[in-house]
Amino acid sequence: MFKSINRMKYRGPTLGLTTICALLMVSCATPIKVVTNYDSSVDVSQYRTYAWATDTAQIAQRGSKVSVTPFNVSRIETAIEGELAAKGYRRVEPDESPCFAVSFTVRVTESGPIPSRPTHRGVSYGHWPVYGPPVESSQEVHLVSIEIFDGTTRQPVWHGAVGRVTGDVESTIAEEAYAIIGKFPPAA
């Protein structure tokens, strides 16, 4: 009986510590920060139908190891169409006079040099550590943006974008597209 009480005594704090660690790890995930801009003079509340812009999506890559595959293009289109349908917008063909047109851009760029802190060489002189010069590196950043154009004037009325350091683009690109189009229409 004494052993089972002892186990019960230690199980509670261990379970609590595990739960706290799991919550901290989940809360440290990088949130998607969407930046939007829109023309406040246009009343988008009257929009009911949309079409894909007749120009194909712009996919710009500059010396990148990350490729924007047809699968990623399909993921973005599916995310946009799904979110717009959930908001009550109906897709029509471009020749059916849509209220607005949708387009998107994917761009991969390399950021400028990012200086690091001086590196410790593992050598000490007395009590003073010896440091080497800082090492500069660069990071690839991918930008996903969605543009909405008025169907009559063909002028831009809304723009949303997400820019992130490139990691696993395959697993995040649809999530980013959902996050962007989720901000349309702008709050009145």
pLDDT number for residue 164: 78
**Whether 69 contacts 87, CB under 8 Å:** no
Query: Running DSSP on this structure, what letter comes out for residue 65?
Result: S
SS3 109: strand
* Cα distance between the two ends of the chain: 66
pLDDT number for residue 111: 61
Residue 187 lies in a domain: no
pLDDT number for residue 113: 56
Q: Please tell me the distance from the alpha carbon of residue 151 to that of residue 145, in angstroms, as a whole number.
A: 19
The answer to whether residues 4 and 44 belong to one domain is no
Residue 164 lies in a domain: yes
Residue 186 lies in a domain: no
pLDDT number for residue 43: 92
| Domain range enclosing 18 | 1-30
**Where are the extended beta strands (E) located within the chain?**
35-38, 49-52, 58-61, 90-91, 100-110, 114-115, 120-125, 128-131, 136-137, 140-150, 156-165
Side-chain half-sphere CA neighbours of 49 within 13 A: 12
The answer to whether residues 169 and 123 belong to one domain is yes
The answer to whether residues 100 and 12 belong to one domain is no
pLDDT number for residue 174: 85
The answer to whether residues 145 and 69 belong to one domain is yes
Q: Please tell me the distance from the alpha carbon of residue 116 to that of residue 9, in angstroms, as a whole number.
A: 46
The answer to whether residues 90 and 124 belong to one domain is yes
The answer to whether residues 58 and 133 belong to one domain is yes
Number of folded domains that form the chain: 2
Residue 144 lies in a domain: yes
Per-residue pLDDT tens, the chain, 188 aa: give them.
Answer: 445 444 444 444 554 555 544 444 444 456 788 999 999 999 999 999 999 987 554 554 455 444 567 888 888 999 999 999 999 999 999 889 999 999 988 877 766 555 555 555 555 555 665 555 555 555 667 788 999 999 999 999 999 999 877 666 666 888 889 999 999 998 86
The answer to whether residues 172 and 111 belong to one domain is yes
* CATH at residue 146: 3.30.160.670
